[in-house]
Amino acid sequence: MTINGGISFWYATDHTATAPPRAPLTSDATADVVIVGGGYTGLWTAYYLKSSAPDLRVTVLEQKFCGYGASGRNGGWLYNGIAGRDRYAALHGHQAALRLQQAMNETVGEVIGVAAKEDIQADIHHGGVLEVARTPAQLTRLRAFHEGELSFGETDRVLHDATDTRALIDVADAVGSSWSPHGARIHPLKLVTGLAAACERLGVVIHESTPVTEIDPGRARTPYGTVRAPYVLRCTEGFTAALKGHKRSWLPMNSSMIVTAPLAPSTWESLNWSDAALLGDMAHAYMYAQRTADDRIAIGGRGVPYRYGSRTDNDGTTQERTIASLTALLTSFFPVLTGVEVTHAWSGVLGVPRDWCATVTLDRTTGLGWAGGYVGSGVATANLAGRTLRDLVLGASTDLTALPWVNHRVRRWEPEPFRWLGVQALYAAYREADRRETTTHTPATTPLARLADRISGRH
Ligand SMILES: Cc1cc2nc3c(=O)[nH]c(=O)nc-3n(C[C@H](O)[C@H](O)[C@H](O)COP(=O)(O)OP(=O)(O)OC[C@H]3O[C@@H](n4cnc5c(N)ncnc54)[C@H](O)[C@@H]3O)c2cc1C
């Protein structure tokens, strides 16, 4: 039987996550910086602020518990992808986007380094990322993607043919792959809970079970009191739409995952999946997977993309049809796993801005700041955002504050029902494009997908 929901498999099976929650806010308070949201973005920001300026009073307000959001539910891809890089290249030039990419490359090592320094045991394994193509059209995209990454300085990336790919991970129908060393497998929840503990050791005040109902310049209101601070940082990513005035800022996009029971050593041998590389593909409705530290496969994909009215899931419960489609995807990648036990399924939300570009912003006149819109590539990006927010708050002009994603503004999403109709149509087009590319074996990307990309503003 598959356990559906319960926040995530990571939460359900990590005993430290069931520790009693931290105390909520009980009265009005003051701080120098108040951070709304106890995920990677909020906690990395708190961590770096307090590390750089120990006298700063930093308070984090979290509606449930640290790691309740995507940071405690994700696929554990700590990798160097950042949403919007190509658009930033178009807006600010190739060199500016190259600096952003280099900063992301360094971020993977930064997270691994801090985890080691703070003794955060997050099952980190630095095995790189293998992105596979399984159709001729995917192979064409893979080659273009590979060349594109080389042009952004990833000269250590390796292109593999079908035979070499299957020797690395035996994915059915693989026709090629691109491997990058800039990726590491993590246990997402262990990283976020370890980070919260590291913040507290530095003196950050964290209040859990404390929902912020409204953010204004100089204050964050909650049902239990208001925290006043010159800087108020919104780090709520996929939950942002629930905040007053933010219904159309970032769209809460669903991503869902399933995980198998631990697989036998002989199964792993037959899959050739020995180095725990992260695994992704080049489909339009792409998948992502990891070999967990306890020898399961955790695999995720879009499922039902969006809930009407920007609603979010109920503690991670996903749709039965999403579990079925992810299970089918798993066995299409690895037919030997047909009938395998799927122990857990869950979902979460990630934040998608109208132009699909991640941003980090501080408005000096109001003291309001925010970071997010990572569109599914937030594990490492949130760390870069945290260091950048630190520099912005401290008024330092640094290499990080000069990156092109800083202070980028974008228009809001359309009102309903257009928002819902648009996202449904977009993913219906991507699924149909994937189906056509699989059945026709055409080497070119289906025009339907290119049209969907153009209309959505995704590429
Ligand atoms: C299923 C899934 C798989 C993913 N896989 C990957 C992956 O493999 N690699 C990758 O790079 N990215 C992945 N992502 C995206 C990545 O997890 C996120 O981009 C990242 O965790 C965002 O961190 P965050 O701190 O900004 O937001 P979150 O982790 O969502 O944290 C926001 C926090 O704010 C709190 N909050 C919200 N509203 C309020 C309020 N009003 N008051 C107080 N607190 C509030 C929430 O409870 C939550 O704890 C995935 C996302 C999902 C959902």
Burial class for 118, CB neighbours closer than 10 Å (0-12, 13-18, 19+):
middle
The string of pLDDT tens digits covering residues 101-158 is: 999 999 999 999 999 999 999 999 999 999 999 999 999 999 999 999 999 999 999 9
Whole-number Å distance, alpha carbon 278 to ligand 1 midpoint, is 20
Whole-number Å distance, alpha carbon 77 to ligand 1 midpoint, is 13
In whole angstroms, what is the distance from residue 155 CA to residue 169 CA?
A: 22
Cβ contacts of 179 within 8 Å, gap of 6 or more:
128, 129, 130, 131, 157, 158, 160, 168, 277
Lowest average pLDDT, out of 94-103, 148-157, 189-198, 418-427, goes to: 418-427
Report the pLDDT value the prediction gives residue 214, as an integer from 0 to 100: 95
Residue from 11, 59, 74 to probe ligand 1 pocket by mutation (most atoms less than 8 Å from CB): 74
The string of pLDDT tens digits covering residues 371-395 is: 999 999 999 999 999 999 999 999 9
* Mean pLDDT score, 353-367: 96
Residue 452 or residue 100, greater confidence? 100
* Smallest CA separation from ligand 1 atom 15, residue: 376
Burial class for 310, CB neighbours closer than 10 Å (0-12, 13-18, 19+):
buried
Whole-number Å distance, alpha carbon 348 to ligand 1 midpoint, is 8
Alpha-helical (H) ranges within 118-135 are none
Mean pLDDT of the chain: 95
Question: Contact 406/361 with Cβ under 8 angstroms?
Answer: yes
Residue from 307, 379, 383 to probe ligand 1 pocket by mutation (most atoms less than 8 Å from CB): 379
pLDDT band, residue 449 (cuts 50/70/90): confident
Report the pLDDT value the prediction gives residue 238, as an integer from 0 to 100: 96
pLDDT band, residue 422 (cuts 50/70/90): confident
Question: With 90 as the cut, is the pLDDT of residue 314 above it?
Answer: no
pTM over 0.95: yes
* Smallest CA separation from ligand 1 atom 19, residue: 378
In whole angstroms, what is the distance from residue 380 CA to residue 403 CA?
A: 16
Report the pLDDT value the prediction gives residue 311, as an integer from 0 to 100: 86
* Smallest CA separation from ligand 1 atom 3, residue: 74
Tell me which residue of 108, 84, 113, 107 sits closest to 96, measured CA to CA: 84
The string of pLDDT tens digits covering residues 302-312 is: 778 888 888 88
In whole angstroms, what is the distance from residue 252 CA to residue 237 CA?
A: 8
pLDDT band, residue 9 (cuts 50/70/90): very high
Whole-number Å distance, alpha carbon 252 to ligand 1 midpoint, is 10
Lowest average pLDDT, out of 12-16, 77-81, 141-145, goes to: 12-16
Report the pLDDT value the prediction gives residue 67, as an integer from 0 to 100: 96
Report the pLDDT value the prediction gives residue 452, as an integer from 0 to 100: 79
In whole angstroms, what is the distance from residue 275 CA to residue 291 CA?
A: 9
**Residues in the ligand 1 pocket, defined by CB under 6 Å:** 36-42, 61-64, 68-71, 73-77, 211-212, 235-239, 243, 255, 257, 288, 300, 348-350, 372, 374, 376-380, 382
Looking at the CA of residue 374, tell me the nearest atom of ligand 1: 19
Encoded tokens for 246: 């933010």
* Mean pLDDT score, 229-258: 95
pLDDT band, residue 354 (cuts 50/70/90): very high
Question: Contact 16/65 with Cβ under 8 angstroms?
Answer: no
Question: Contact 75/257 with Cβ under 8 angstroms?
Answer: yes
Position 37, amino acid: G
The string of pLDDT tens digits covering residues 333-346 is: 999 999 999 999 99
pLDDT band, residue 18 (cuts 50/70/90): low
Looking at the CA of residue 72, tell me the nearest atom of ligand 1: 29
The string of pLDDT tens digits covering residues 205-221 is: 999 999 999 999 999 99
In whole angstroms, what is the distance from residue 423 CA to residue 251 CA?
A: 10
**In sequence order, what are the beta bridge partners of 48?**
none
CA 425 from centre of chain: 23
3-class SS of residue 225: strand
Tell me which residue of 257, 234, 245, 247 sits closest to 45, measured CA to CA: 234
In whole angstroms, what is the distance from residue 114 CA to residue 116 CA?
A: 5
In whole angstroms, what is the distance from residue 74 CA to residue 20 CA?
A: 22
Burial class for 441, CB neighbours closer than 10 Å (0-12, 13-18, 19+):
exposed
β-bridge pairing 278-281 and 288-291: antiparallel
In whole angstroms, what is the distance from residue 188 CA to residue 293 CA?
A: 12
Whole-number Å distance, alpha carbon 238 to ligand 1 midpoint, is 6
Looking at the CA of residue 68, tell me the nearest atom of ligand 1: 49
Lowest average pLDDT, out of 74-78, 224-228, 232-236, 446-450, goes to: 446-450
Question: With 70 as the cut, is the pLDDT of residue 234 above it?
Answer: yes
* Smallest CA separation from ligand 1 atom 31, residue: 39
CA 277 from centre of chain: 17
Question: With 90 as the cut, is the pLDDT of residue 440 above it?
Answer: no
Whole-number Å distance, alpha carbon 331 to ligand 1 midpoint, is 28
pLDDT band, residue 459 (cuts 50/70/90): low
Residues constituting the chain: 459
* Smallest CA separation from ligand 1 atom 11, residue: 377
* β strands within 267-341, DSSP E: 278-281, 288-291, 297-301
**What is the DSSP code string of 42-102?**
HHHHHHHHHHH-TTS-EEEE-SS-TT-SGGGTS--EEES--TTHHHHHHHH-HHHHHHHHH
Backbone angles phi, psi at 227, to 5 degrees: -100, 120
Report the pLDDT value the prediction gives residue 17, as an integer from 0 to 100: 65
pLDDT band, residue 266 (cuts 50/70/90): very high
Report the pLDDT value the prediction gives residue 313, as an integer from 0 to 100: 85
First CA to last CA distance, the chain: 40
With a pLDDT cut of 90, the percent of the chain lying above it is 84
